[in-house]
Each structure stands twice: as C-alpha cells, then as structure tokens.
Structure 1
Amino acid sequence: MDSIVSRLDLTQIFCDVDDFCQQFEQLWQQQSQLPSMLGEKRSRSQMQLSEIMTIVIAFHGSGARTFKDFYTLTVQPHWRKAFPHLVSYNRFVELMPWCLMLLCCFLHTRKGEITGIQFIDSTPIEVCHPRRAHAHKVFKDLVAWGKNSVGWHFGFKLHLIINEQGELLAFQLTPANTDDRQPVPDLTQDLIGQLFGDRGYISQKLFEQLYQRGLQLVTKSKKKMKQRLVKLMDKIFLRKRALIESVNDQLKNICQIQHSRHRSVFNFLVNLLSGLVAYTYQPKLPSLDLQPKGLPALPPAIF
C-alpha cells in the first residue's frame, strides 16, 4: 500500500472522479448510457461508480502486475474503511464495464494544455502472442496484424499526441494495420502550431490539409527524398521526438495498458482508459526543459 500511495495521490484522484461523477449522475440513470449484453438485466450495486473508477485507476498506477492480486491483497485487506461497500473480486470485475463511458469522458478532462509544440506517434497494443492469434476470439473482427520496426504484432494500435510537457492531448485506438497518417486529421482538430512526427507521417496531402488549419507537420526526410532546408529549432525538436516514446514506455511498463489476459472487450477498454488516466496523475511526467538556466520564464507564444 505504501508503494501505491507514493506513486499516486489517491485522495485527489477520488475527489476528482467523485466530483465528475456527480455531474453526470442524471445521465447514468438512463439505461441507454450503459454497456450491457443482449438479454442482460441492469446490475445494481452499493458501490459507487466513482469508487470503482478510483480502484481501477489506482491499480494502473500501483505497479502491481495483476489486478486480482492487487484487489485481493491490497484493496480488500487495507482499503475497506475507505470503501465500506467492497464486493468480491468476481463481482467487481462484473461491475467494471459500467464505468466505461464515464472513464472516457473523465479522461478528456485530464488532457494537457495546447502549447503549440506537439509530438505524435503510435504504439502497438497486442491482445495475445502472435502464435495464438489464429485461436483468439475475444477481439475477433476488431483487431488485425500490424508490422513495425520490431516485427509483427496482432492487436490494436494506439495513436497519441502529447505536448512538450508530456501531457496527453489526443488519443485514438485503431486496428494494428491502420496507416499512421489516417487518424491524424481527427486527432488534430483543436491543435495549432507545430506537430513533430517520424517518417511514417510523411504526406504532402496531409501536410497541406493541416497547414490550412494552422498546424505545421514537421518530419524527417527519407533517404531518397531531395534535401530541404529545416529551421534549427525544428531540427532540435525532431531530435527530441523520443519524448513521446518515453511516454509510450511508461504507459506500457508502469500503467500497464497492454496485457494478454483480457476476457471482455468492455474490460479491455476500461483498463486502457484507466491506464491513460493513471498516467496523467503521475507525479513527474517525461518532459523537455525548454527554459534556459538563469533566465526568467518566457510568456507563452501566440500562434
């Protein structure tokens, strides 16, 4: 429990989540807002949705390897005073899909500030080992094969945009065979300034489309492309693009947004969203120090 508290401020998380849930209480009274299986009756529980969300977010920020061990060895023995209506592990897993929509909406409130400097990248989210892909059924017709510099993978692809402070600005989940350039127009609807990406985002059509909206796409050139002049600051930021790879590393190895134990599409989405939320509560995010030492802070740039 001490290691969990040292990573995240659970009191702050619960207060933020509970305040948010109260604003949506009337919406959650409508059956159409909740995910359910065909013929399944709406579940009732004394546990509040804010409590369920807090526990799931806490797991993804705890460093625990499995949710079952976290719930049975940490939550049930030590957190019963804080959550007096705790249910069994199996019942809690049944309740998790009911907070899916609220988690998605809450994550949007955790987005960072648009500063005019953005980095974009995608990372694979495997749903099973490639050797078991032929027998995989949970995500049938939702996932696909994809390939990157590491090799082949079976599952989804998570597209992310962050600012120079490592804060999440936009995200989208697609099948693994989706071209990295395809989700960019939707992901960048509200962004301005500059967007730095790798060579996978090179496209004259995409560049012109974004430029008309006040967003400049900056990428490295391919070896066979003609050499072009690049501003010094743009070249520096391209070298700092590894920042978003550090974010992807934290999401997978600390917040555990990827594992192969999912038995439900809804629970997969709950775990993915709660992992992203847990990342936003990390005490220190990967970031770029753009302020020269010994100089006063500069006012924000206007684009």
Structure 2
Amino acid sequence: MKNLVELYCDVDDFCKVFIPQWQKQLLDDGTQKRRRDGRLTTSEVMTIVIGFHMSHYRDFKNYYLGYVSVVHKKAFPHLLSYTRFLAIMPRVIVPMCAYFTSLKGKPTGIEFIDSTSIKVCHSFRIPRHKTFDGIAQRGKGTMGWFYGFKLHLIVNYLGEIVAAKVTTANVHDTRPVAEMAKGLTDKLYGDKGYLSKALEADLFEEGVTLITTVRKNMKAKALFLWDRAMLSKRFIIETINDQLKNISFIEHSRHRSMNGFMLNLLAGLVAYCLKKDKPSLNLTDVERNSMVIA
C-alpha cells in the first residue's frame, strides 16, 4: 500500500498532464466565467479520497476528521471543513475516471470475466429508499435478490483490471461483454452465466474465444486440458471482487447522491489498481507456451 506522499506524487504527475488537456476540451456556453483555484487542488482531493479506500477506515467522516485532519494536517495546510470537502468531491469524478483508465492492465491472452452485485440498501428498505429511486433496479445474483447495480469486470491472470463497466442490477451478464471485450486477444473465461452461442460467435469474429462452464442439465463440453485448468482458476476474479468490497470498500448503503456512488466506486477501483500484491496466477513461460500449442 502506498503512503499518502507516494500516492500524491503519482496523482499529481497524472493531473499535471490530464487537467490542461481536459480543460481545453470543455464546452463553453459563451458566458465569461472565473476559474479560480480552490484551496485544495484536484490532486489533493483525489489523494484524500483514494487514501480512504487504502486505509482501514470504514466510514469517510472518521477517516477525514480523525486521520487526515489530525495526522496529515501539515501535508494539507489548506484543509477544508468536512462539509465543504463533501461538496467539492464530485468535481474530481472525471479526473478520477481518467486516472483509473491510465492504471488499467493490458490484455495478456488469458482473461477472466465476472460480475458482482453492488447493493445500495437492504432489501427491507427498498420501498422507502429515495437516493437511487428510478435509477437502481432489482436483480438476482448467486446470493439471491438485491437492489442496486452490477459491476462487470475483466481481469488478466496477473490480477490486473483490464475492463470495467457498471450497469443496473437487472441487466443480464452477457449484455456488456462485447463492448468490454474490445481489444482482447485469445481466451476469455467465464462462468455459466455467460453461456450464449450468439455472444460466443460475435466474440470469435473479434478474435476472442469465450470459454464457459456448463449448467448441470447440459452435456459436458469437449475442452482442452489447458482450458479446463483455467476454468478451475476462475477464483482469481472472485478473490478480486471480494477484495474490492471488503478492502477497497466499493459497496455501502450510505450514499446520498449518484455522484457520491460513482466517486466511491471509482476510488475503490483505483485503490485496488495501486495495490502492490494483487491476486495472480503464477504461470510459467512453459505453461503459457503450452496454451499456444493447444
């Protein structure tokens, strides 16, 4: 885990390149506007937000008031009040999204795909939940029905996130695959939720072979030994989903706006990307060459 100084240096180096280019592309409505620098720079705000997801704190208020404002007061001499900081946080959603894109891993020819639920409230509170009214949807996962969204991920065998997409909970797992798989090569492994002859054919035309498990009432597929071995290694993406929820803390039920939800999710993904020790498969060159031969 990076400390805040290392994290700030990484974020600031990125912002020095991205922010000027981003501002050039912003549309102008013709009115003259002042662009005064805030007390906290974009780099500082992003560092504090990402740092929360790399810490052991489980609520942002205690992290900000009990850790950043006390331990790192000298590092952030122009620190804002907690309420004011919450108000300016949505400003960094676009830079945070771009930063995450810059941290994503590269396709390796051995990728895994899966989705995980992002609940926004307990099932009993759905009728009176207002924050995501008309946005979040009910969906069903392996753990039953839930209300919220789905996070779809493609990761490589090194444990790096290659592609990510958020949908409402009622979207089938197969729908975002074609878009997410652009740029992939060779093999993509998924569970039986991705069974689709149409999807398999579409991906094959793009040079990607989709390999999935089968349902209990289906005949077993004829697969190469390598592909069977890789299907048994799908725990890597399940481990990543678990770490995103329980370490990077991308899921909680205290959101007060869609902006807050998206920023929390993006910062959690960034925090995972910056981890030094990611779950990975220790594949040797001999093993990877055997895949090519197969």
Give TM-score, length-normalised by structure 2. 0.92
How does 1:177-256 map onto structure 2 within 5 Å? 177-256=170-249
Given that 1:146 and 1:154 are in contact with CA atoms closer than 8 Å, whether structure 2 keeps it comes out as yes
1:8 paired residue number: 2
CA distance in 1, matches of 2:90, 2:48: 13
Deviations 1:14-64 (A, max 9, x none): 11211111123335547957xxxxxxx999621000100011101001021
In structure 2, which of residues 111, 119, 123 is the aligned counterpart of residue 118 of structure 1?
111
1:3 paired residue number: none
1:127 paired residue number: 120
How far off its partner does 1:227 sit?
A: 3.0
Equivalent residue of 1:118, what SS? strand
Alignment of 1:25 onto 2:22: no
How far off its partner does 1:285 sit?
A: 0.5
Report % sequence identity.
Answer: 45
2:159 paired residue number: 166
Seen in structure 2, the aligned counterparts of structure 1 residues 296 and 186 have a Cα distance that, compared at 3 Å, is: closer
CA distance in 1, matches of 2:106, 2:182: 14
CA distance in 2, matches of 1:70, 1:215: 43
Deviations 1:189-218 (A, max 9, x none): 111110000000000110010011110000
2:264 paired residue number: 271
Given that 1:57 and 1:275 are in contact with CA atoms closer than 8 Å, whether structure 2 keeps it comes out as yes
Amino acid at match of 2:50: I
How many corresponding residue pairs? 288
Question: Where does structure 1 lack aligned partners over 5 or more consecutive residues?
Answer: 1-6, 34-40
Alignment of 1:289 onto 2:282: yes
Amino acid at match of 2:19: E
How far off its partner does 1:229 sit?
A: 1.2
Given that 2:114 and 2:191 are in contact with CA atoms closer than 8 Å, whether structure 1 keeps it comes out as yes
CA distance in 1, matches of 2:126, 2:25: 35
1:257 paired residue number: 250
Give TM-score, length-normalised by structure 1. 0.89
CA distance in 2, matches of 1:146, 1:12: 40
Amino acid at match of 2:163: A
Equivalent residue of 2:230, what SS? helix
Seen in structure 2, the aligned counterparts of structure 1 residues 43 and 136 have a Cα distance that, compared at 3 Å, is: farther
Structural RMSD (CA): 2.5
How does 1:63-82 map onto structure 2 within 5 Å? 63-82=56-75
CA distance in 2, matches of 1:76, 1:14: 16
Alignment of 1:96 onto 2:89: yes
Question: Where does structure 2 lack aligned partners over 5 or more consecutive residues?
Answer: 28-33
Amino acid at match of 1:165: L
Alignment of 1:45 onto 2:38: yes
CA distance in 2, matches of 1:89, 1:215: 48
Mean Cα deviation higher: 42-51 or 107-116: 42-51
CA distance in 1, matches of 2:206, 2:241: 27
Mean Cα deviation higher: 85-94 or 24-33: 24-33
How far off its partner does 1:249 sit?
A: 0.4
Equivalent residue of 2:64, what SS? helix
Given that 1:31 and 1:42 are in contact with CA atoms closer than 8 Å, whether structure 2 keeps it comes out as no
Deviations 1:244-297 (A, max 9, x none): 0000000000000000011011111111100000001112101111128xx899
Given that 2:61 and 2:82 are in contact with CA atoms closer than 8 Å, whether structure 1 keeps it comes out as yes
Amino acid at match of 2:5: T
In structure 2, which of residues 48, 51, 63 is the aligned counterpart of residue 55 of structure 1?
48
